[in-house]
Amino acid sequence: MTSIAALNAADRATFVAAIGFAFEDSPWIAEAAWERRPFDSVDGLHAALGDVVAGAPEERQIALIAAHPDLAGRVARTGRLTPASRDEQASAGLDRLAPEQIARFDEANTAYRVRFGFPFVIAVRGRDQAAILAALERRSRNERDVEIALALAEIAQIARLRLEGAVSA
Ligand code: GUN
């Protein structure tokens, strides 16, 4: 656990090392948000990080979405997830799927990727595997712009939950 006061006093590298993980494999967001110190709260920090994402060009936003591994996918099954993603996927039971469920996820993840060119992202904490698979199949029918916006909103929620576990007021 770090604190808002410690983050406000941190140099850029320390800041990024402490909270960069809130956005999957995308330390550029924390690097840019560091310029916006001081933060008055976890809310304020989260809002500043969100502003960086919102102000980024669409290609960077899509690179952020694309940094996420498929849920219950090959990266997960071969033990190569980031610790945050591993914990989230385990909390939703995605590390304990039966072979038929894995096959359904693989099929739906692939169809989603083929349609949009990026992976399906959803904040999985508090959802079970049936709800996640239903959302994956439902969202596959959306328009691409809608999915970009939804994925970024889910990523903001994932970051919020990650920050809450790592930063105290
Ligand atoms: N939701 C929470 N963590 C992840 C992740 O690592 N990948 C995807 N696709 N969605 C997530």
| % pLDDT > 70, the chain | 100
Q: Catalytic: 68?
A: yes
Query: What pLDDT shows up at residue 22?
Result: 98
Q: For ligand 1, atom 4, which residue shows the shortest CA distance?
A: 85
At 2-31, the pLDDT tens digits run: 999 999 999 999 999 999 999 999 999 999
Burial of 150 (0-12, 13-18, 19+ CB in 10 A): middle
- The closest alpha carbon to 30, from 21, 39, 38, belongs to 21
**Most ligand 1 atoms within 8 A of CB, residue of 26, 65, 68, 154 to mutate:** 68
Domains along the sequence of the chain with CATH: 2-63 (1.10.3330.10), 69-151 (1.10.3330.10)
Query: What size, in residues, is the chain?
Result: 169
What's the whole-number mean pLDDT along residues 75-85?
94
Report how far ligand 1's centroid is from the alpha carbon of 85 (Å): 6
The mean predicted confidence, pLDDT, of the chain is 97
Q: Which residue has the tokens 């006061």?
A: 5
d(CA 9, CA 2): 11
Expressed in angstroms and rounded, the spacing between residue 68 Cα and the centre of ligand 1 is 6
Mean pLDDT across the stretch 59-79? 96
Beta strands in the chain (DSSP E): 2-3, 167-168
**pLDDT above 90 coverage of the chain, percent:** 99
The Cα–Cα gap between 135 and 92 comes to 14
Report the predicted TM-score, pTM, of the whole model to 2 decimal places. Answer: 0.96
Say what the pLDDT of residue 144 is: 98
**Options 20, 50, 68, 118, the catalytic residue:** 68
Per-residue model confidence as pLDDT tens digits over 112-161: 999 999 999 999 999 999 999 999 999 999 999 999 999 999 999 999 99
